[in-house]
Amino acid sequence: MSLLDAPSFKNVSRPLNSTALPSEAYALSIASLSSCYAVSASAPNNAIYLYDRANLRNITTLRGHEVSITHMRAVPAFVGSAGPILISCGKDGTVKAWDERTASVGLQMHALTSGRTPGLLSCDVSVNGMMVAAGTELQGDDASILYWDPRQPAAPLRTHSYTHSDDITALHFCRPSSGAPAAGNVLLSASSDGLVCTSNADEEDEDEAGLHVGNWGCSIAQAGWISGRMDLPGIWAASDMETFSVWSNELDLVQNVDIRQPSVHRQDLTWVTDYLIGCHNNMTIPSDADNDLSVFVGSNEGDIALISRSTLSDPSWPWTLSQIWSRGHAGVVRSLLWDEQNNVLITGGEDSKINAWSGPTLGAQSASNELGSKRDNDDQVMDVDEEMPIRKRRRA
């Protein structure tokens, strides 16, 4: 496995703006709304902070959840809303849709099932905004995917309890890329049970709802769609042990790598990955491209790097190091948002800091294509250091 630094590679060592969460809370997740950025905080806050885009000034604070906020995201459509809204879920067993204008909950859905209120770990909203899905933590022998019609939020519309047998850590509705055919309400789910699944969210009968299942055999912490094209590798997943996998849309395993392995060791440049922060689907990549995924990784010292592959169909293709953002955090970076429209990168860490950086060089994927085409001749290819020490990611 190889890691090449792109011709446009640069190291950014100073944020544009910086602020901090109160009470030394971790910045768990970041989302972009029409007029601000939202950051969810860990205990003891369990609150959501809204920050001005221009200077990261705190505009207002949302009360968040009674117990830990486990997931937060901005969704482009939601019933009764004309624009992007913020949704969150927590271990208090609720999914909340927020009204940023009034700094209050616009709609709340409860996970009460069979007289119990399970904690929720993941959530998403369908493309048309008419369905909400949430994944529960394991409670007894059950871990369920709950579905709501947000027009009737008092109780779940239905419950699917056999798809997974452990904490459901990721849920994502398929959002086809521009020009791709609609796939219906196809839901991707991943779990600590090692399974990656796709389901028809419109199907009431759970036995009929399942589409495809892939068994990775390790606890899955993150997952997502790569592309809306159904003929290409379409799903990525990351484990608790920092392994990274790519799957076909039928959930055949395409590649499985340790994300810590691609590294550079040179006199003028060193990069060693300790953990995966998250992945970003690029808006500027052509719809016929094989891969629209940018992979953001971090070091235990608080540095961040963007790595990518111009194709994910070929496991032997080299990784490209596009950019490094350094000296902005002290410790693990927990969350990241690439605001492509304004080309700003927002990062949040266990040090409570929120940083705004100049964004990645647009067109980095094209550079990756160029590097890949001459990978056999490039004298800057760095082989993986097999003796590289493995450093564990700290978790809350």
- pLDDT, tens only, 269-309: 999 999 999 999 887 655 555 667 899 999 999 999 999 98
DSSP reduced 3-state for 364? helix
CB 189 within 8 A of CB 206: no
Q: Residue ranges of the domains in the chain?
A: 17-262+332-357
Q: Is the confidence at residue 253, as pLDDT, over 50?
A: yes
Query: What pLDDT digit, counting tens, does each position of 30-69 carry?
Result: 999 988 999 999 998 899 999 999 999 999 999 999 999 9
Instruction: Let me know if domain 17-262+332-357 sits in CATH 3.40.50.1820.
Output: no
Q: What is the rounded average pLDDT of the residues 113-129?
A: 88
Burial of 351-389, coded b for 16+ CB within 10 Å and e otherwise, reads: bbbbbbbebbbeebbbbbbebbeeeeeeeeebebeeeee
pTM above 0.95, yes or no: no
